[in-house]
Amino acid sequence: MSCPNVTACGGDVVGTWTVASSCLKLSGNVDIALAGLDPRSCTNVTIAGSLDVSGTWTANSNGTYTDGTVTSGDAQLQLPAGCLQISGTTTTCERISGPLAGGLGFASATCTDAADGGCTCAATVQHMGGVAWVTADPQTSGNYTTSSTTLTADSTTNYSYCVAGNQMTWTPQATGLTTTGTIVFQNGGTTGTSATGGTGGTSATGATSATGGNGATTGGNGATTGGNGVTTGGNGGTTRGTSATGDAGGTNVTGDAGRTSTSGATGGTSTTGGTSTTGNTGGTTGGSTSSTVMGPCDIYAATNPATPCVAAYSPVRVLNSKYTGPLYQVRKGGGAMNTGSGGTTMDIKATAAGFGDAAAQDAFCGTDTCTFSILYDQSGKGNNLKVAPAGCYNDGSANTPDYESSATKRSLTVNGHKVYALYTVAHEGYRNNATMGMPTGSASQGIYELADGKRIGNACCWDFGSAGTDNCNGSIMNTIFFGTGFWGKGAGNGPWFLGDFEGGVWAGGSGASTAVNNMNPTMNVDYAFGVLKTSAPTNYAIRTANGQSGGLTTAYDGVGPKQWNNKAGIILGIGGDNSNHSLGTFFEGAITAGRPSDATDAAVLQNVQTTGYGK
């Protein structure tokens, strides 16, 4: 069956439109770099399939939209043998399935060996938002523009379109493959017939014109009274203080917890709550000026011998009670694909309770596009992270500068406080090649990370840790990887915390990076906590836990595949050569000089758990 394209005519799209029918075909060559495969060896990947669209799409007169459509379908892909060559190692068709699905936006993909040494892959599409777009990041709301006969969503997704009476017809102008055919919408009280013969959607009234944004906004917190932060001994349990007054929106704030005991002896000294501060008055810095909340870096510094933080990042909360600077910086008006310039910026500090000042960010960003322009290092070393420059992996994506990540796509509640997380998609990542105090050579190192275990990438490489300083492949990396990929696997279907040491990603052991380690558990939880720590000459350990409850599991602790040769660069969300095809959500993490003990790992986990993620 042929699916002809729309005869584009433009027109007014404001209103709520219900899909009446769709006829869409997929064909052509796929941009395989989106899956993290090497386009120099993985060439001429063909696709054939069809898509169906149902649901509603609403355009508001203020240039925003809401996408309630569902796109579904099936496709078959043919991959040549060269697709199995990745970063100096050879993978299998079975292990390409996950990255292929995650990177290209399929709901699932099953790849089997083909007669020519390549792979035949059967894939399905099923997602809400992103009308008729095969994408790993479908959007259910955003901004749109129309120009002549083209409608553009979020500055990146184009459709040829025509509005005639109460009917609107689209043809997607896809990138990375060819999409032909049309989606037909109905408006103005007509009930459309679904493409599968079911009952059409109910007509809706047109979108209401939005009012303008607020005028002046108030600043951050006023004066607050802090919690008691009393710490008891034994396992280092804490007693929360009394609620504080003055928090934004009238929400009560619990007192700050005291220092957690790392040895099981008497708990640390109780701490007072945050100092009373005046609210932000609309300058370039939002939030309070100081906090006495005890965090992981306080725990690392208190061990004997100390394993101090040399890099620590979180847009969510304070990780070091001695740190008084901003947690992060946001950029407004720089565009959705910003490589680190333009617009206006604002530093976001912590409130007196120790959490990122979301109210100050909201007042600054309003309805504009806002991105994370700086993640400030809370260790005191000044190892701030900015958007990563181009790498030397020549795949059409990694060898171009990265984009800053959205500062507004993931909000959450932590102990009753609204905060924002770092929400990265493909082609986004952060780096610092000129650091201070980082372990070098074979010096011991520790890393912990808290990430979203329900939103994970399948390609290379969502890493956090130490890498080279030249944006290229080196002989060694020392980073924690989270997700699934082409190499090592743990138990179940993942995601897993793995060690990316360059030339492979290990779930444990010292042999081939493709080995399966059933002691490494799947971490499909809301808040996944992972530890990677290394010591000379080759030893490493991977430990994992639920960031809300329970204890640590040691996935591996033993000899590694390489001798460590740390180069002291820091990366987040990318591989050492800027391989930037994966995605994830980062809440907090730190790098230490020295390998922390297992007891210290447990104390840091307890500190994270008592913070109250998701509460």
CB atoms within 10 A of CB 44: 11
Task: Yes or no: say if 308 and 593 are a contact pair by the CB < 8 Å rule.
Answer: yes
Cα distance between residue 477 and residue 532, in whole Å: 12
Q: Which two tokens stand for residue 165?
A: 């009476």
- Beta-carbon contacts of 341 under 8 Å, excluding residues fewer than 6 positions away, are 334
Catalytic residue among 67, 402, 449, 502: 502
Q: Is 601 known to be catalytic?
A: no
Rounded to whole angstroms, the Cα distance separating 490 from 453 reads 14
Nearest CA-CA partner of 566 in 409, 438, 459, 415:
438
Residues 6+ apart with CB under 8 A from 511: 561
Could you tell me if 482 and 476 are in contact, meaning their C-beta atoms sit under 8 angstroms apart? no
Q: Which of 577, 588, 598, 601 is catalytic?
A: 577
> What is the C-alpha to C-alpha distance for residues 163 and 464, in angstroms, rounded to an integer?
48
568 token code pair: 């002291």
The beta-strand segments (E) located in 314-405 are 328-332, 344-348, 370-375, 386-387
Tell me the backbone φ, ψ of residue 361, rounded to 5 degrees: -65, -45
Q: Distances from the Cα of 449 to the Cαs of 452, 479, 553, 595, in angstroms? A: 10, 11, 15, 15
For 344, 402, 514, the CA distances from 100, given in Å and listed in that order, are 37, 21, 17
- Give me the count of residues in the chain: 615
Task: Indicate if 404 belongs to the active site.
Answer: no
As annotated, the active-site residues are 502, 577
